[in-house]
Structure formats: C-alpha cells, structure tokens
Amino acid sequence: MNSQENLKTKVAIIGGGPAGLFLSQLLHLHDIESVILERRSREYVLGRIRAGVLEQGTVDLMRRAGIGERIEHEGMIHEGVGIAFENALHHIDLMSLTGGKVVTVYGQTEITQDLYQARDSMDGMIFHEVNEVTLHQLDSAMPYVTFFKDEQSYRIDCDFVAGCDGFHGVSRKSIPQDELTEYHMSYPFGWLGILAETPPVSDEVVYASHERGFSLCSMRNSMLSRYYIQVSLEDQLKDWSDERFWGEFKTRLPAQVSDNLITGSSVEKSIAPLRAFVADNLNYGRLFLAGDAGHIVPPTGAKGLNLAASDVHYLSGALIDYYQSGQEQGLYGYSERALDRIWKSVRFSMWCTLMLHTFSEHTPFERRIQKADLQYLIDSPSAQKMFAENYIGLPY
Ligand code: APR
Ligand code: PHB
C-alpha cells in the first residue's frame, strides 16, 4: 500500500448531499477553502429522489450560492396548497395569508446537480467513494480527518469539521455519548413514493386525509408527477405493483382531484419510514452538525431540505465571521440558533403528520379530534395563517 497522503484545508466537510455542497460553495465564495468527503459515487447521489418544496429562504440561499439561474426558469411557483378530506378539496392561499410569500417546487436532485456543477466550475475538491472516514481530536484546535479512497490512505488537517453526512453518517457518532442528547420519535407507518412521467393531477400540492390512509400529490415538472401514499411498515416494494398503487391512490383522493388523474408506469418507487429525530447539541469542539446529520423530520410539512438550508445559512455565516474578523461567538452560538428553528419545524411537521395520517390504534374519540383539527384549519383564517406561516418557512 502507498504511504499516507497528507492534505490541509480550512473546513473538512463530511457528506456531499445538499448540506455539504451548499456549505462548501458558500465558503468558497468567501475565499474559505474546504474539502468534501462523500461515501457514494456522484451518480448514486444524483440518482436519489428526495423532497421538492422549497421555502423562499432556500431559494435565496441558492442565489447567494450562485446557483439561482436554472430554478428561475424551471422552478414552479406555488401560491397555495390543497388540503383534502371527506371527499372535498380545500385551498389554502399561502400568498394572501403571508402577505405575498410563496413556495417553489424544484427537486432536491436538481439542486444537488446545480451545486455539483458550480463546485466543478470552481475546481472544488470533492472525494467520492471514500471509506472509513474517521474524525480525530475534535476537542482540540487541530482536528484532522482520515479516510481511504481506492486503497490509498489520506489525512486532512483542518480548522473545523462540518458533519453533513446525514442520519447514518459518522460525524454525529464521533461525539462522546455524554456530550449529546438524542430525541427520537417514530411513526407506525411509512410513505410509498412514486415518480411517474405523467402530467400532475393538480396544479397545487395536495395533502389528502382518508380513512384508508394519507396520500400526497406533488410534481417535479409539467410531465413528471411525484405521488405518495401512507403504507404499513411491514409493506415491501414487491407488494406494490403500479396497478395496485394507482388503485389505492385514486381511492384516497376526492373525486374532484382523482377525476383528473392520468396514470402510467412508475420510473421510481421507494418506501421510507416516518420518523423525527433531533441531536442536541449540534456542536462538539471543532465539529458542527448540519442537515440530516443533526435532525430528521417526517416529510409531511416539506421541511427536511429546508432545514438543511437554514442550518447552512447559520453555519456558513458563523464560519465567514470567524475567518473575516476572528469572531467566535457565531460559531459557538450556532447550535442554539439552529435548534430554535429546528424544533419549531419539528413541531409543525409533527402536527401535520398527526392531523393527516390514519392511526390504526386511534380510539373513536381521537378520530373525532383529528377531524375537528382538520375542520378548524379549513374554517379558521387564524389557523390557516399559522399553517401558511410555517409552510412558507419561518424567518431565519
Ligand atoms: N462518509 C462520507 N459521506 C457520508 C458518510 C460517511 N461516513 N455517511 C453518509 N455520507 C453521505 C451520504 O452518502 C449522503 O450523500 O452524506 C450525504 C448526506 O446527504 P443527505 O442524506 O442528502 O443529507 P443532507 O445533505 O443533510 O440533506 C438534507 O433534506 O430532504 C431532506 O432527507 C432529505 O437528503 C435530504 C436532506
Ligand atoms: C415532494 O414533492 O416530494 C414532497 C412535497 C411535499 C411534501 C413532501 C414531499 O410534504
């Protein structure tokens, strides 16, 4: 085996998903060098189908990161969302309820692609398909990271480590147990999601509650639909032919929506369990966690990717302050600042999840309360305002 190769950078970024890529790009634009270490190939990362509803803060971050051009043309502005239950569709007018704010539908895969392109054009250093990433001396002023790529061993000396490596990554696990509290909540169901090359059933994203289970209508563009249904945790992909999916999906939508449904073969299909998780805190010594490495929300409020963006906003700002003026307060206040917004988004995501899904263990009393919650949202301008304020994204 070759001897170890030694590198030096300011910020070693673990994980090349949106959190890591955004951070690297924003630091670069302020002349702060970073290196990204990603366990998977670029093709694999770009093949993952993830979320798609962006808050204005996320779109603004894209602009600041120099990747605002394509979304300008291809992003779909949504001024409202639909909430369906008991065979009726209701409209929540985000724009009028928030004084002119909207959300943009643009897939996470597209953002990741834009970020990779931007990093390439600036000669950003990204190591793909790395193994055994290990973080060292995080509680010192001289942390370093070791890893292997193609059987070559590497060491990167750095000032800081950014843990952007998702829920299963190594960064959070490198924090001593007594320095970290983890809050977990799992839901007794998952979402089966499909992507189909068909025109979307509705111009708006529709969240539908039904006694057979929740369903969601979303889209990626005018010829690509993204749909989900609530399924049991025991269900496997092989149980869900396209035909069964379409039949079930149609049953759970009000006729006003399902009458427009155009079905076709799926081009992607996956099942994900729903859970919430928060790590407190997001900082240990010279390590900072951002994105899914620090928290997961159930997808019902469309907050996962948007929270990764707000984390990166806070963390990049703190690192830029540190390098420009030696100020450390921002860095050591990062966790508290980010967690305030994270917990509020966890609350919103949990409320949406509880209101819209079918829980087999619910008593008749709980079912009536759930129905009252939905009816209150539809009837009360104040309740709609709270929904809209959260859905378009709480301020940074
Ligand atoms: N070493 C290097 N890279 C790793 C390691 C490791 N030990 N473990 C995981 N990774 C990589 C994963 O392969 C993945 O590409 O870290 C990356 C984390 O990316 P994401 O899971 O996309 O998480 P994040 O960047 O925080 O994005 C936020 O928002 O919509 C939600 O969950 C959705 O991915 C989304 C997230
Ligand atoms: C999606 O388009 O994938 C999507 C939309 C809204 C959600 C979750 C996912 O709440």
Same fold, 5-77+102-183+276-352 and 188-274+355-391: no
How do strand 81-85 and strand 88-92 relate by DSSP bridges? Answer: antiparallel
Minimum CA distance residue for ligand 2 atom 7: 302
Per-residue model confidence (pLDDT) at position 48: 87
Report CA 26 to chain centroid distance, whole Å: 18
Q: What is the 314 CA–ligand 2 centroid distance (Å)?
A: 24
How many other C-beta atoms are found inside a 10 Å radius of the C-beta of residue 328? 11
Q: Is 30 a catalytic residue?
A: no
What pLDDT, in 10s, does the model give residues 49-104? 888 999 999 999 999 999 999 999 999 999 999 999 999 999 999 999 999 999 99
Per-residue model confidence (pLDDT) at position 13: 98
In the chain, domain spans? 5-77+102-183+276-352, 188-274+355-391
Phi-psi region of 132 (alpha: psi -120 to 50; beta: other; left: phi over 0): left
Per-residue model confidence (pLDDT) at position 1: 59
Q: What is the pTM of this model?
A: 0.97
Q: What is the 221 CA–ligand 1 centroid distance (Å)?
A: 24
Homologous superfamily (CATH) for 5-77+102-183+276-352? FAD/NAD(P)-binding domain (3.50.50.60)
Per-residue model confidence (pLDDT) at position 51: 87
Torsion of CA 167, 170, 172, 176, to 10 degrees: 150
What pLDDT, in 10s, does the model give residues 162-198? 999 999 999 999 999 999 999 999 999 999 999 999 9
Q: Is 308 in the pocket of ligand 1 (CB under 6 A)?
A: yes
| DSSP-assigned letter for residue 237 | G
Below-50 pLDDT ranges, the chain: none
How many other C-beta atoms are found inside a 10 Å radius of the C-beta of residue 365? 8
Q: Does domain 188-274+355-391 have CATH number 3.30.9.10?
A: yes
Q: Is 78 a catalytic residue?
A: yes
Q: Is 53 in the pocket of ligand 2 (CB under 6 A)?
A: yes
Q: What is the 304 CA–ligand 2 centroid distance (Å)?
A: 10
**Tokens standing for residue 386:** 């709270």
Ligand 1 nearest atom to the CA of residue 112, by list position? 22
Pocket test for ligand 2, best of 216, 271, 357 (most atoms within 8 A of CB): 216
Q: Is 19 in the pocket of ligand 1 (CB under 6 A)?
A: yes
Q: Is 207 a catalytic residue?
A: yes
Minimum CA distance residue for ligand 2 atom 3: 51
Give me the residues paired with residue 216 across strands: 207, 228
